[in-house]
Amino acid sequence: MREITIPISDETIRSLKVGDPVALTGVMITGRDTAHKWLIDTFIKKTRQPQGDDLEIYEALKPLLEGGIIYHCGPVVSGLDSKQYKFVAAGPTTSIREEPYQADVMKHFDLRGVIGKGGMGPKTLKGCQEVPGVYFHAIGGAATLIAQSVTKVLGVYKLDFGVPEAMWVIEVKEFPVVVTMDAHGGSLHRVVEEQSGKVLAELLAK
């Protein structure tokens, strides 16, 4: 398993290929549907005016996301009352819901990676080639195990979105993932879809 530290360089990203197992160490941010839509509408397409502390949060997020990673995750978090936050469960969320947004967010913030489960579509794959970036697949159903890789919760933004949809800033050590979409146009998810489609067509033809 290859050990990689966040932030990640272009050279390192381009050296990764579909199928590579990776252990990530460094700081990353969680983000799901609400967070992605907020980023797109407020700062990228600018169809919504910034409100409250939006601009302040944006300036704080920029250096964290540059060369960094967004993790599609709706964590279970303890210590909400005391603000002594700890991730109890941190499993990946199905990523395809972010397909309309992900490539634009990657380009705007110069992201190097996205973590989730189930893979993403052609728009994100093209974004991975252009930025460059990769899609890391995390293990579904291993939420408690993955949470053990989260060594510290450094902070949280947009908690008003709710705990699962907030943007949690976390420090991780040897977070286990596999590259399933790379910066060279490779997509394990596309291959599986094409192969299963052929098998299905053969079965239906019998």
Q: Catalytic one among 36, 72, 137, 189?
A: 36
- The answer to whether residue 137 is catalytic is no
Quote the CA–CA distance of 193 and 65 in Å, as a whole number.
31
Q: Which residues are catalytic?
A: 36
